[in-house]
Amino acid sequence: MKSKTSRFAKIFRVRKAGVFARFARDKRGVSAIEFAMLLPLMVTLFLGGVEISQAVSIDRKVTLTTRTVADLASQVATITNADMTNILNASTSVMSPYGTSTLKITISCVTIDSAGRATVAWSDTRNGTARTVGSAVTLPSALAVPSTTLIFSEVSYGYTPTIGKFITGTLSLADLLYMRPRLSDTITRTAT
C-alpha cells in the first residue's frame, strides 16, 4: 500500500512540477497582468493631477480677484453704491469660468490714526460679512504708517473637488491684500 501511495505522490509531483514549469515559461499574459496591476495607479494619478491643476487654477483666480477688487477701489477718491456694484461685478467676472456661488468678497477702507491704530472706515461685501465700521484691524507692521489709509481686500472661495470631495470635503481658498489709495489720501464711501 505504501508503494502505491508513494508512486502516486511521485507522479503527482512530476505533473505538478510540469504544470508550474509550463506556467512559468508562458509569457503570453504578462502584459495584460501588468496593465491590470498598474491601471488603478495610473487612473488615480491622472484624476489627482486633474484635481490639483483645477484647484491651483481656482486659487490663482482668487488671487487675481483679490488684486482686482483692491486695484479698482484704490483708483478713485469717492466710491458710490453704483461704483461698488460695478467693482464687485467686475471682480466676479475675473472668476470666470468657475462658479461664483461660494465666492465671498469683502472690501474695506482701513484708516490708521496718528497713534498707529487701524480701524475700519467703511466696508462692503458680496456673499460675505462686511467688517463693522470702527472695528480694529491688525496690520503688518510695515503697513501701519500713522495718518494713512489702506484698501483692504479679502476674497475666499469654497472649492469642492469633483472627485476628491469625499476625501477632503470643501476646501477654503482665500487671499487678502492691502493697497494704498492712488488719487487721494483717503477714499470716501457715499450712499448715492
Angle between helix 30-74 and helix 81-94 axes, rounded to 10 deg: 160
pLDDT < 50 stretches in the chain:
none
Place of cell 470643501: 170
Domain that holds residue 108: 30-189
Could you tell me if residue 88 is inside a domain? yes
Could you tell me if residue 152 is inside a domain? yes
Could you tell me if residue 65 is inside a domain? yes
The tens digit of pLDDT for each residue in 12-53 reads: 555 656 666 666 666 677 777 888 889 999 998 998 898 889
> Where do the H-state alpha helices sit in the chain?
2-25, 30-74, 81-94, 165-168
The tens digit of pLDDT for each residue in 171-183 reads: 899 999 999 998 8
Query: How far out from the chain centre does Cα 72 lie?
Result: 23
Phi, psi of 187 (to 5 degrees): -115, 120
Which class for 50: exposed (0-12), middle (13-18), buried (19 or more C-beta within 10 A)?
middle
The total of structural domains in the chain comes to: 1
Could you tell me if residue 12 is inside a domain? no
Could you tell me if residue 143 is inside a domain? yes
Could you tell me if residue 134 is inside a domain? yes
Could you tell me if residue 94 is inside a domain? yes
User: How high is the pLDDT of residue 7?
Assistant: 62
User: How high is the pLDDT of residue 127?
Assistant: 92
Could you tell me if residue 48 is inside a domain? yes
User: How high is the pLDDT of residue 149?
Assistant: 93
- Three-point CA angle 118, 123, 127, nearest 5°: 135
